[in-house]
Structure 1
Amino acid sequence: MKKIGFLSFGHWSDHPAYNTRTAGDTLLQSIDLAVAAEELGLDGAYFRVHHFARQLGSPFPLLSAIGAKTSKIEIGTGVIDMRYENPLYMVEDAGAADLISGGRLQLGIGRGSPEQVINGWRYFGYEPAEGETNADMGRRKALEFLDKLEGAGFAQPNPYPMFSNPPGLLRLEPHSEGLRDRIWWGAGSNATAVWAAEQGMYLQSSTLKFDESGEPFHIQQAKQIRLYKAAWKKAVHEREPRVSVSRSIFALVSEQDRYYFGQQVKGADSFGYIEADKRAVFGRSYAAEPDQLIGELALDEAIQEADTLLLTIPNTLGVDYNVHVLSAILEHIAPALGWR
């Protein structure tokens, strides 16, 4: 059994083929799609976060709105770039969104990937400390975020406050009990997957990772997941670990599907560079008739290792078509592979 959710990149553009011409289109359709996904029986609605791009950049208003209009589906991100974040302000935003949703937030965070602008976090007022890389800064902020989510008091109260305080040091409010245990780390390497396990974060592994062996993507990703699980066991956390992988999967069951994705039938991994000196492997897309698709997905070792599968969706094609895409996976693929 697997949890199955969708992952939206939240694109919009004034393009004649897009159903998301504006930011408002994308935001409102994201809410509608999450509501429809819950009605379908999907387990999760997740959203990418990118700054300086025509994509979703401020997740908490969206997550709160979805939380208010749904009742069961997990709501999350994949991932929030911690280099851009004020960890304390983020604790307040996340706590509020989690309380609105009734404790359904599953926040994916990470140190970030190359962005639309050079060192974009600097425009947000952040700089690495002396001797730090920007990746170090992202991990440091992540640890502060985790620490403050615990809910312990740390701030000295004013002896003459406007409103009376509880005794002792003050914590950030609103505090959402249990949210600390629902934070995921987007890991691009084996080492950061192990680090995430040591910190008690769940693992999000995307459709790309740093190439560490030259092997096919799904094999490298499966090895990363096994290293994560071993590190989690060694750390002796009280919770069971969770792991999600992302995939672009399209069951070709209509002429419209074949028109949009038929050219991807012979998909393959690719290798390239996401940073000047770091070679990466990019996982293939899956698009085929259901019987062929089932056979191909059965060989994907990383999907087998994960408990959660996030289906990347073409959000620009509108809510109705994406409901069709997700329904086809639930109807034709998931039962045959034992996911449902």
Structure 2
Amino acid sequence: MKKIGFLSFGHWSNHPAYQTRTAADTLLQSIDLAVAAEAIGLDGAYFRVHHFAAQLASPFPLLSAIGARTNKIEIGTGVIDMRYENPLYMVEDAGAADLISGGRLQLGISRGSPEQVIDGWRYFGYEPAEGETDADMGRRKALQFLDKLRGVGFAKPNPNPMFPNPPGLLRLEPHSPGLRERIWWGAGTNATAIWAAENGMHLQSSTLKMDESGKPFHVQQAEQIRLYKQAWKTAGHQREPRVSVSRSIFPLMTEQDRYLFGRDSNSVDKIGFLDSDQRAIFGRSYAGEPDQLIKELAKDEAIQEADTLLLTIPNTLGVEYNVHILSAILEHVAPGLGWR
């Protein structure tokens, strides 16, 4: 059995073929899609976070709204770029969203990926400390976020407060018990996957990672996951780790499906470069008749290693079409692979 969720990049553009022409369209349709996804039996609604782009950027209002409209579906991110964040304020936002949803938040964070502008986090008022890289800064902020999520008091109270204080040092409020154990790290390398395990975070591995061996993407990703699981065991954590992988999967059920995604039936891994000098491998998309998809996906080693599969969706095609895609996967692909 696998948990299956969707992952939306939340694009919008004033394009005649798009159902999401404005930011309001994307936000409101994201809520509607999460409600519909829960109704058809999907396990998770996840959203990317990108700044300075016509895409979703401020996840907590959206996650809170979804939490208030749904009852059981997991809600989360994949991922929040910690270079842009104030960890303490984020603790408050995340705590509120988790309480509104009844403890269903599964928050994916990371050091971030190449962005729309050069050093965009500087515009948010953040600078790496002396001797730090921006990646170091992102990881440092992540650890600060994790620490404050524990709900342990750390701030000295005012002796003459506006409102009475409880005894001792004060913590951030609202505190959501258990949220610390539902934080995921988006890892692009084997080393950061191991670091995530050592720090008690679940693992998110997307359709991109640094090319560390020249092997096919799914093989490298499976190796990354196995290294993560071993590091988790070595760290001695007393709870089970979770691992998600992202995939673009399109069952070709209708003529519209074939028109939109038929070209992806011969998709292969691609090699590219991040930040001009980092060689990366991008995983293939899967498109085909359900029987063909079952055969191809059964060979994907990383999916076999993961307990959660996040299906990347073309959100610009609207709620109805995306429900069609997700339903086709649940009904015609997942059972053949033992996922359902």
Q: State if a TM-score over 0.5 links the two structures.
A: yes
Shift of 1:275: 1.7
Secondary structure in 2 matching 1:334: helix
Q: 1:72: which partner in 2?
A: 72
Question: 1:211-269, CA deviations, whole angstroms, 9 ceiling, x for partnerless residues?
Answer: 00000000000000000000000001011010000000000011110010001100000
AA aligned to 1:36 is: A
Q: How far apart in 2 are the matches of 1:317 and 1:325?
A: 11
Secondary structure in 2 matching 1:129: coil
AA aligned to 2:261 is: F
Q: How far apart in 2 are the matches of 1:199 and 1:50?
A: 25
| Structure 2 residue 189 is matched with structure 1 residue 179 | no
Q: 1:128: which partner in 2?
A: 128
Give the TM-score, by structure 2 length. 1.00
Structure 2: give runs of 5+ residues left out of the alignment: none
Give the TM-score, by structure 1 length. 1.00
The equivalences for 1:150-229 within 5 A come to 150-229=150-229
Q: How far apart in 1 are the matches of 2:255 and 2:328?
A: 13
Q: 1:331: which partner in 2?
A: 331
Shift of 1:25: 0.0
Q: How far apart in 1 are the matches of 2:275 and 2:39?
A: 40
Q: 1:10: which partner in 2?
A: 10
| Structure 2 residue 76 is matched with structure 1 residue 86 | no
The equivalences for 1:1-340 within 5 A come to 1-340=1-340
Q: How far apart in 2 are the matches of 1:222 and 1:339?
A: 18
AA aligned to 1:65 is: A
Structure 1: give runs of 5+ residues left out of the alignment: none
Q: How far apart in 2 are the matches of 1:337 and 1:253?
A: 18
Q: How far apart in 2 are the matches of 1:38 and 1:272?
A: 36
Shift of 1:277: 1.6
Q: How far apart in 2 are the matches of 1:111 and 1:161?
A: 37
Greater shift, 270-279 or 209-218, is seen at 270-279
Q: How far apart in 2 are the matches of 1:334 and 1:289?
A: 13
* Aligned-CA RMSD value: 0.3
Q: How far apart in 1 are the matches of 2:166 and 2:204?
A: 38
Shift of 1:274: 1.5
Shift of 1:276: 1.6
Q: How far apart in 1 are the matches of 2:27 and 2:238?
A: 37
AA aligned to 1:120 is: G
Matched residue count: 340
Q: How far apart in 2 are the matches of 1:238 and 1:25?
A: 43
Provide the identity percentage.
83
